[in-house]
Chain A
């Protein structure tokens, strides 16, 4: 995994957070201060800055050369470095060098060059001001101070503990690769690079967050992406002012243009194969250090129903599951409202035998259908949230027990009719069909207004409520890309990849998100 050297040659200056924190003494102490030649003074200065940071380690090493003893000081943060690397690649080589004899009487630069030669760390750069030194120490690098020099060396020894690459707990599929992103951004970018081995895959890093100094990486394919959108996004990212970024969700909320819409304007995923598929279509990926969720933008409505499995399975199976998902979405949003409308307003629609049975069961329930529907829905929402918080098996048990027992008990206590329980159960199942969990929020949110409209105006209410939803979707745009593409505006792509998936051979033309120049894939 190649580590991009850029960040250490010219680290981006600390963003305005510095100025924002006011006239702190610390600012004046280290903002533009350079190293002095005395290692003792430098050390004292750093100890002042890192006062009470007991996990910063100061390690003295001596380098012997021709009876010269040169004092070296290693400073690093305890848990952020790979201790083995420091031991084996920094301290040991210096020790070995000291043992070997060397007849070179050269000028002072040579010492720096010499050290750069003997230390076998994979990335080294030079630094001379405290600002950068503090930043790099906190990133996990080691700073090497040299006596009589006002230049220090930064050694890349980033290590530390992180999760291993394993299967994603929320996005599992049956057929396809099972690796998923972890919290470390470098590993994540590496996972992407393993799949797209092209120099045109660019990863532009920004540092956002004044205290957290989080690395945010914008990843795109240079030859395919739409440059204007990219510029737009990077400008927006540069304007973010915040103290700490801990998850990609923060970035999502800063970037989206319609924060109050129930529909997400970016997709999140943990899977590198999904990310790579989208990269090749000209989309832009944002990775945030410390979060395993990558952001994909811009997206369209139909992408919320797609899962990478659709492409790995054969044409018929892929389409079958996709249509099933769409059906699930429609049922999950409309079924309770259709039930309420039919029962309260349009009895003529039901077959005669069903009407008699339904009225028999409903005669025993004291509430109007709307209240019944809302009660059951609320109970299901509680169950859902509860079982998400509880660990493992308890959560599953609560889910099952709750659903069955509560349903049965409600029917026995005449608080709900059996039909209602069935309707609510099918609705809940339908909402789980969607490939990613967070898009089901959209579903749940639009369901309730539709039920209320159905309760007041019957079928007319359902029509009006759906019109509102569709108008909202039509006016929504995800970074300039119309949300309902390719359905509206109509495109030939609609048979290729929106609702149904054509055969892979037809995928030669890229979708319209990409640069117009590079429209064909092969």
Chain B
């Protein structure tokens, strides 16, 4: 306990919590609306299927990178994909990470702007968030992972907020179950994919886990399954309250969901949602931003990670100020979400396939 963990900087349990906090982020706000646009009242089934699919991707990821316990992101992508491609992918990843961090910061300040502080200029709110994120990251991964752990306990009341609106909900709104048809349900998994985004950060963090002999596969998959259950329940509860038609009229169904019921002492439960959600999103931004900086540090080995943390902060700040209004923010989020398909879906599979080819090649060479 007196020195940093022996082989790395975060423990396996911390990696579990990192994945958990990463995926619950900005996506949960509008998830129900976006998915039910495609699959009506069966949006929750789409979300559930999507979650299972992503758990499968996670298994692929952990399987592939557990074969390279000592290599960091740059090294094993160069090994598997050849050096120039590896460098390209790494630089692309750090650019992507910075973009995602900027987008999420903007989502957060949009939410703050709409619900909490309508008159504060956006650049001030963004500035404060960026400073907090820089402070979070400058001490390294260990402090960040501990922060995620300390705040992981807020996810429990966050999940309990689902039950708040149930007195007003009627499950008849969810029926007929399966009535939208198989094709729309499967199509609905596409918009919900972006809400889970972030799990691919494990590609970057795995080399820093210190006790790799723990069952990391089990932890990662169970983290994703927990998130799947949480999202499914949240979406189902929201559709039960609103019904598939009204939900199209509500931009942030997760928050408006809490306005449906009166409480005796605390008149507004949205504030609680906002508080828990802000903490969670801060952790998400921190982890995503740190992933980008770590990859940059892998490339330019001579500098410390904190150098990149300071260096990229004005970049993130300016990027988060770029969209001019809410519609542009949503647009921006969509575009970045499309990049996620590459890093979250294609890259793990490519690495997996390349591992098989190269692994088999090695094996073959050994045998002959």
Contacts and interface: CB of A to CB of B under 8 A. Distances in A.
- Determine direct contact between A and B, CB below 8 Å: yes
Interface of A: 226, 228-229, 345-346, 348-352, 457-460, 463-464, 467-468, 470-471, 473-475, 479-482, 484-485, 487-490, 512-513
B128 A464 contact: yes
A463 B115 CA distance: 14
Given A487-B150, A488-B145, 7 more contacts: A349-B271, A457-B120, A464-B128, A471-B135, A489-B149, A490-B14, A512-B1
A470 B266 contact: no
Contact of B1 (A464, A467, A480): A480
A460 B132 contact: no
Contacts of B148: 488
Nearest to A476: B143
Interface in B257-312: 264-268, 271, 274-275, 278-279, 282
Instruction: Give the bracket for the number of chain B residues in contact with chain A.
Output: 35 or more
Contacts of B267: 348-352
A470 B132 contact: no
8 contacts: A352-B267, A464-B132, A467-B279, A471-B135, A471-B147, A475-B139, A485-B1, A490-B17
Given A350-B267, A467-B132, A489-B146, A229 B14 contact: no
A459 B143 contact: no
Given A345-B116, A489-B149, A459 B2 contact: no
B136 interface: yes
Q: Which residue, of B17, B264, B267, B279, has the highest number of chain A Cβ atoms within 10 A?
A: B267
Nearest to A352: B267
Nearest to B274: A459
A416 B148 CA distance: 40
B116 A459 contact: yes
Interface in B126-181: 128-129, 132, 135-136, 139, 143-151
B139 to A, nearest CB: 4
Interface in B65-118: 112, 116-117
Interface of B: 1-3, 11, 13-14, 17, 112, 116-117, 120, 125, 128-129, 132, 135-136, 139, 143-151, 264-268, 271, 274-275, 278-279, 282
B180 to A, nearest CB: 37
B147 A488 contact: yes
B278 A470 contact: no
Given A471-B143, A474-B143, A488-B146, A460 B2 contact: no
A474 B147 contact: yes
Interface of B: prevailing SS: helix
A349 B266 contact: yes
Q: Which residue, of A480, A484, A488, A490, has the highest number of chain B Cβ atoms within 10 A?
A: A488
Contacts of B117: 345, 457-458, 460
Nearest to A457: B117
Nearest to A474: B146
Contacts of B278: 460, 463
Given A351-B265, A474-B143, A480-B1, A489 B11 contact: yes
A269 to B, nearest CB: 22
Contacts of B11: 489-490
Contacts, number: 99
B266 to A, nearest CB: 7
Q: Which residue, of A460, A464, A473, A481, has the highest number of chain B Cβ atoms within 10 A?
A: A460
A484 B266 CA distance: 31
Nearest to A489: B11
B84 to A, nearest CB: 37
Contacts of B271: 346, 349, 459
A519 B125 CA distance: 49
Nearest to B113: A460
A342 to B, nearest CB: 9
A228 B1 CA distance: 11
B120 to A, nearest CB: 7
A490 B139 contact: no
Contacts of B3: 228, 480
A43 B39 CA distance: 105
B267 to A, nearest CB: 6
B203 to A, nearest CB: 22
A212 B112 CA distance: 59
Contacts of A487: 149-150
Contacts of B112: 460
Nearest to A479: B2
A346 B13 CA distance: 38
A226 B1 CA distance: 9
B59 to A, nearest CB: 24
A470 B150 contact: yes
A122 to B, nearest CB: 40
Contact of B150 (A460, A468, A488): A488
Nearest to B153: A487
Q: Which residue, of A346, A459, A467, A485, has the highest number of chain B Cβ atoms within 10 A?
A: A467
Contact of A458 (B116, B145, B268): B116
B171 to A, nearest CB: 30
A468 B282 CA distance: 11
A229 B2 CA distance: 7
A141 to B, nearest CB: 39
Contacts of A473: 150
Contacts of A346: 116, 268, 271
A408 B59 CA distance: 66
10 closest residue pairs by CB, A with B: A480-B2, A488-B149, A488-B146, A475-B143, A475-B139, A474-B146, A488-B150, A474-B147, A512-B1, A474-B143
Nearest to B10: A489
A226 B2 CA distance: 8
A490 B143 CA distance: 13
A467 B282 contact: yes
A460 B120 CA distance: 11
A513 B1 contact: yes
Contacts of A484: 146, 150
A489 B268 contact: no
B322 to A, nearest CB: 22
